[in-house]
Every structure is written in structure tokens, then in C-alpha cells.
Amino acid sequence: MRDNLKKSFEIDGGVRNKPRDFVIKASEPADGGNKENIAVCMRGVSSEEQIRDPHSGELYPLFKNINLTVSSKEVWGISSNELNSVRLLSQVIGNMHGCREGLCSFGSVGTVLKKRRIIPHIFYIDTHKMLYPGKTVLEQLMFATAAALRFFGDTERQLKMLRLLENVGMGYIALSSISDLYDTEKILLELLIASESGSRLIVCDFTAYTFSQAEIGIMANIANRIRYLGKAAVIATMQPKLIGMICDSTLFVCRGEPIFCGSVEELNKYADKVAFILRDSNPKVLAKMLSCLLPGWQIKVSGENLYLYNYTDKQLKIEDFYSLLAKNGLTPESVRVNPGRVENSFEELMERYDIQRKTV
């Protein structure tokens, strides 16, 4: 642990470059099943709590049959169309709540029967109130790490803390009083402190918070640091953008059922069917012409924007698309390749799920 903590102060490492070269599927642990590297493993987990559908009045569990394996160096994002589903799921992962059936084991610790018991393995965050409002950010960080990192001298530790704050993008609030920070900034500071703790798994229930673009950027830096230190994190959020920017993998639950569990890249590839986004002053005419040129595609007009959905099996490269436009004398004001957005993917997943349910 001491080596791990010492490593944690190799500040330049693990913050800037996000390693995205691995794709993990939930059912197959990345390390080939090595228990030491598994932070949490869930098999067939279902919730005891049920939710009532406001329209049909039907009761269904907040989640059921969840299979999830989170290994070290992974950052997972969990989301759902129901706030309570994702909140409860994060509580079960954080050993804060029991489940009706299934197995939930925490790496080498195994299954913990006493719920809400503070175990060294997990660091759970669901509130911004853990900090002392009378302190500055640097003071709080120094105070929090004083016991765990006592092998560093005070001066050295303070310099390292300052550098750490700067590197994750929180340098601008280093000397601000905690009482002056936004709740989301406090949460980020807690996450940073958690990343420096001895816990291998950080479980964050961020469902009550909405982060700005800049704050998501800071969180991405902290997430990189968590990966670099060999830890794992599970972030429960209702902000798909956060999952897209930070997480390697995601679990999406709809009406209690896990409808996607895998990497974010896979999700976008699988569910986000928007291939190109075009902009034109006369979008309706352009849409009409393109629908003749691209059979099997779907075109949606929103303001001056056109969203081109590719529902065919064949991928269309951007250069081929440009040549198609040029051949037919079409000159839209701008053409963009959709980089893949988690919001679109989740929407698409829910639509498909609804269609599937109705068909069944």
C-alpha cells in the first residue's frame, strides 16, 4: 500500500493522457478473472425495492439481473431512465444497501453482510458535505492526507498537493475557502481526496448533481489519475455527457432491465446511428433530395440542421459521402461527422427497448 501511495504522488503521470486502448465487456473481466484485480463483481443482482409505473400502475423492480464486473484501472458510468434505479444500484455497489437476490462481492474482501459498514476497500461519495467549510481547498487536502501520507515532509507534501491541484485543473480554487465553492466543486474535491485514499474502489452517487463542461473536464483528469493509480471508480449519474467524456464503460438500465453493458465506444457504435450532421439554410429541400440518394437512411430536420441516421448494414465513409454530394450538385453549408454522443445512444436504446416491449 505504501508503494501505491508513493506512486500516487508521481503527479505528472496519469493525469493528462487518457488510456483508452482497452475495451472491457462486463461479462469478461479484463484480467481474465484474477480476483486481486476485480474491484466489484455482481452476478444476477436484483433489487428488493419496486417502482410503480405512473401510467399503467404496474410494479417492477428498480433493477434486476445485473451482471457487472469492475476491474482496477476502470471507470464505469451507470445510468438509467429512472433516478432511483441508478441511485439504488450505486448504493448496492458501494455496500450501502442489500439486494433481494444475486451475488455482490467486493474483490478480495468478498461479500459483506453488514451494510453501510465502512470497509477499507470502498470509498463512497454521495454528498458534498463531507468537507469542513472553514478551510481552504489546500488546507483540507493537507489535513485529509496528513495521516495517510505522513512519510512525506510537510513542505514536500504541500508542494505536491499544489501541483496535484494544478494538474487536475483545480489550481484556481486552491486557496479558496470551501464555503465559497459550488457544491459540484466540493464534490470534485472529495473525489480527488478519495483518489488519494487507500480504497481501491470509489463509488460516486452523482445523481443529485449536474456538472458544467469545465467541471467534467476536471473530473476526467481525476478519472485518469484513478486509472493511473490502479484504482477503479463507478459513477452513477443522470448526465450522459459525463459518461461520454469520463468513463471507459457504461451500464444503462431501462425499466429495471440492463439494456446495455459495455464500453462507451461500443455503445456509440451500436446505438448512436447518427452518421452525419449537415447544416443548410433550406434543410427541407436538402432532406428530400438526400432521402432519394440514401435508401435505408433516415433524415431528421431540426431547425437548420439535418441528422442523417444510417440504419443500413453498410458504413459510408466521409469521402464517399462528399463525392455523393458533389456528384448531385448538393452544397450544404457544413458537413460534420458525428463523433458519437452517449445522449443519442441512450435515447436510441430506450426507443428500441420500447418497440421491443410493445412487440412482445
Partner 1 sequence: MIYRERLFKKELRRSYLNSLSGGRRQFFMCVLMTLLTFAAHMLLRLAFEIVLTEYLPALTPPGSFSVAYSCNLTAYIFYIVYLSVKPDAGVLSELRDNKWYLFSKMGYKADRIIFFKTLVSLSSAVSVYAACFVTVSAISYALKYYFFAPYFLPFLVSGVLGVLLCAELLILSSLLSGGNNKTTRLIFLSALIINEVLKFTLGYYRLIGDEALMQNTANLFLPRYSLYCVIMAILVLILPLFFNSAIRRKSGYYLLKNEIGGIVSCGEQVFIGPDELDNVRKGSPLAIMARVILAFVLFASLICNSFILTASLSSSSREFSIFGYIPYVFRSATMEPLIRKNDLALFKKIDSQYPISVGDVVLFKSSPGSTEISVMKVTEVRDGNLTVDYLKYPIVYTPGSLKESVSRGKVYGVFYASNHIWGTIILLINTLPGRVLTILLPAAFLIFPKQLLAFLRRPKKAE
Q: Give the residues lining the site for partner 1 (CB under 8 A).
A: 49-54, 59, 62, 82, 84, 87-88, 91, 96-97, 116-118, 120, 123-124, 126-127, 129-135, 138-139, 142-148, 150, 154-155, 158, 177, 179-180, 190, 193-194, 196-199, 205, 207-208
Name the minimum Å distance from CB 355 to partner 1: 21
Q: Shortest Cβ distance from residue 242 to partner 1 (Å)?
A: 18
Nearer to partner 1, 67 or 84 (CB): 84
> How far, in Å, CA of 6 to CA of 62, rounded?
41
CB of 85: closest distance to partner 1 in angstroms? 9
Based on CB atoms, which residue is closest to partner 1, 50 or 328?
Answer: 50
Least separation in angstroms between residue 253's CB and partner 1 is 14
Dmax over CA atoms of the chain, in Å, equals 71
Q: State the Cα–Cα distance between residues 316 and 311, nearest whole angstrom.
A: 11
Dist CA 249 CA 181 (whole Å):
30
At 331, the amino acid letter reads: T
- What minimum distance in Å lies between the beta carbon of 337 and partner 1? 37
Nearer CB in complex with partner 1: 162/277 = 162
Nearer to partner 1, 189 or 335 (CB): 189
For the range 104-111, what are the long-range contacts, defined as Cβ-Cβ under 8 Å and sequence gap of 24 or more? 104/40, 104/41, 104/42, 104/43, 104/45, 105/40, 105/41, 106/39, 106/40, 106/201, 107/35, 107/36, 107/37, 107/38, 107/39, 107/40, 107/41, 107/200, 107/201, 108/35, 108/36
Q: Which is nearer to partner 1, 205 or 280 (CB)?
A: 205
- Give least dist CB 190 to partner 1, A: 7
- Give the distance from CA 258 to its chain's centroid: 15
Nearer to partner 1, 157 or 273 (CB): 157
Q: Are 121 and 201 spatial neighbours (Cβ–Cβ below 8 Å)?
A: yes
What is the C-alpha to C-alpha distance for residues 89 and 23, in angstroms, rounded to an integer?
23
Between 46 and 84, whose beta carbon lies closer to partner 1? Answer: 84
Q: What are phi and psi of 105, to 5 degrees?
A: -120, 145
User: Least Å distance between CB 239 and partner 1?
Assistant: 16
